[in-house]
Chain A
Amino acid sequence: MGEPVVAIVGAGQGGFQAASSLRQEGFGGRVLLFGDEPGLPYQRPPLSKSYLAGDSGRDELWLRPEEFYRKQQIELVTGAPVAAIDRRGRCLRLANGDEIGFDRLVLATGARNRPLPVPGADLDGVLGLRTLADTDLLRQRLDNARDAVVIGAGFIGLEFAAVAGAAGAAVHIVELTPHPMGRVVSPAVSQFYAEAHRGWGSELLLGTGVARILGDNGRVTGVETGDGRLLPADFVLVCIGVVPNTELAAEAGLAVDNGIVIDEFLATSEPAISAIGDCANFPTRFAPVRVRLESVQNAVDQARGVAANIAGKPAPYDKVPWFWSDQGDLKLQIAGLAISCDRHVVRGDPESRSFSVFCYRGGRLVAVESVHRPADHIAARRLLMGDPRLSPDEAADESFDLRAHAARKPG
């Protein structure tokens, strides 16, 4: 018998972390990390933030230098898409026909941008933002752009809009729902950010769809909204959410339902195959339903979890979800999941640009959204690890010592 082989498909934040954590856990077999993009694994968050703005360079994106993979004996195989999984034979087939056997497989295949199903979406200058290559292209366009249209007011669209506005472009943001970031934040935070973006000079068109994208000679010139308005555009950024990359799993017969279905130990319907990060749909005590989360925290913590499992230290996955978004000079930090919340309590004054919203479901604190209130965010992460026992009145009372409350012994 040869040494055990762990194959990891996807060399984003999750795949990288799984490989790295396997070594930290003392796993001594082979670790193969397959990525379909060229180059070293890199961090994605700066792509819509500091790297896009030109405040950080390419060297700062790499998760680790090349030497790291050699020293850790992680076999990094980039530019090599995996074509199929042979579940019974425990073998991967690469696009080039090579076959690689595995004992354990980790799917960290991530997600891809949801395409915009309107005429003109294939015009030159209609772009997405997910990869380093996308951002390099956007940076070039941004240098010469006068008019930018952002379709979709989620985290990435709004982060981009703030950078584009600061770079001198006139920005229109078109959002189908009435609420920017409405899927993930409370009405108060959504409203606050809508006003912040207007203050930075963007025009928000809320509750507005896109009828088509207009072009001339194959190049984008504008966007026609659902209500017939024409918005000029040198380029258009489409960020209307993502589709999890589940095809490999589905073709191998694994259960798929808004992501690759995994259990609390991160295993798919095939025990030798796990899934982590953006592509994984999992049960969690932090929500009343199964969830699929798109965040660094989720990718990294699930990667650590799967590495521990493979290394023989299995534990159910139970990490507090957290997120952040940098838009303009505002830092939004979220702890927990604000799903089906029935009560929101504001601590601090939104006018002061420093406040938190405490989100309750059935009387229980389930999420805290903080704008320029890092102390609240940290207290929230601590509180949500256990039983928060924070009443709405306490949350709203700025004289109530959250930090001390969060530091108390559980029980």
Chain B
Amino acid sequence: MPNITYVHPDGARETIDVPVGTSVMRGAILNNVDGIVAECGGEMMCATCHVYVEEAQLPLTPAQSDDEKSMLEFTASERKPTSRLSCQLVVTPEMDGLVVHLPETQV
């Protein structure tokens, strides 16, 4: 199962096995990783599952849809070039070792 590492704003790291086909958001929710709210449940309505993908790993992640780009305008923490909605990061075998940084706040 691919490993995904969630890095909290204070630098604490949590590494979780997330099944292929499950989103990075759901992986966090199911494993009690704090810092991802996901109030719409993955419908791209709320922008509260915002993460920053480790820059060098951006090519491992799927392309952004127009919907996601629009929703990223509404994040509570600063939008950066590495910003993604983690509900859209559906884990593939190639994403093993992915590191995502959690923002200061989601709401």
- A: residues with CB less than 8 A from B are 17, 43, 45-46, 59-60, 62-65, 67-68, 71, 296-297, 300, 304, 322, 324, 326, 331, 333, 374-375, 377-378, 381-382, 403
Contacts and interface: CB of A to CB of B under 8 A. Distances in A.
A324 B43 CA distance: 9
B30 interface: yes
Contacts of A296: 39-41
A374 B66 contact: yes
B71 A60 contact: no
B76 interface: no
A372 to B, nearest CB: 9
B39 A403 contact: no
A377 B70 contact: yes
Tell me what chain A mostly uses at the interface: helix, strand, loop, or mixed.
Answer: helix
Tell me what chain B mostly uses at the interface: helix, strand, loop, or mixed.
Answer: loop
A242 B37 CA distance: 28
Contacts of A43: 41
B40 A403 contact: no
Contacts of A375: 66, 70, 73
A324 B45 contact: yes
Contacts of B73: 375, 378, 382, 403
Shortest 9 CB-CB contacts between residues of A and residues of B: A374-B70, A375-B70, A43-B41, A374-B67, A300-B39, A378-B73, A324-B45, A378-B74, A378-B70
Contacts of A46: 41
Given A65-B32, A67-B32, A68-B32, A378 B71 contact: yes
B89 to A, nearest CB: 15
A272 B69 CA distance: 43
A59 B30 contact: yes
Interface of B: 26, 29-32, 39-46, 66-67, 70-71, 73-74, 107
Given A374-B66, A403-B73, A64 B39 contact: no
Nearest to B47: A378
A45 B107 contact: no
A163 to B, nearest CB: 15
Contacts of B30: 59, 62, 65
Given A322-B45, A324-B40, 4 more contacts: A296-B39, A297-B39, A374-B44, A403-B73
Contacts of B45: 322, 324, 333
Contact of B74 (A62, A300, A326, A382): A382
Nearest to A46: B41
A326 B43 contact: yes
Contacts of A324: 40, 43, 45
B71 A64 contact: no
29 contacts: A17-B39, A43-B41, A45-B40, A45-B41, A45-B43, A46-B41, A59-B30, A60-B41, A62-B30, A63-B29, A65-B29, A65-B30, A65-B32, A67-B32, A68-B32, A296-B39, A297-B39, A297-B46, A300-B39, A322-B45, A324-B43, A324-B45, A326-B43, A374-B44, A375-B73, A381-B74, A382-B73, A382-B74, A403-B73
B74 A60 contact: no
Nearest to A43: B41
A404 to B, nearest CB: 11
A324 B45 CA distance: 8
B86 to A, nearest CB: 14
A179 to B, nearest CB: 24
Contacts of B32: 64-65, 67-68, 71
Contacts of A333: 45
A202 B71 CA distance: 32
A86 to B, nearest CB: 33
Contacts of A403: 73
Contacts of A326: 43
Contacts of B70: 374-375, 377-378
Contacts of B43: 45, 324, 326
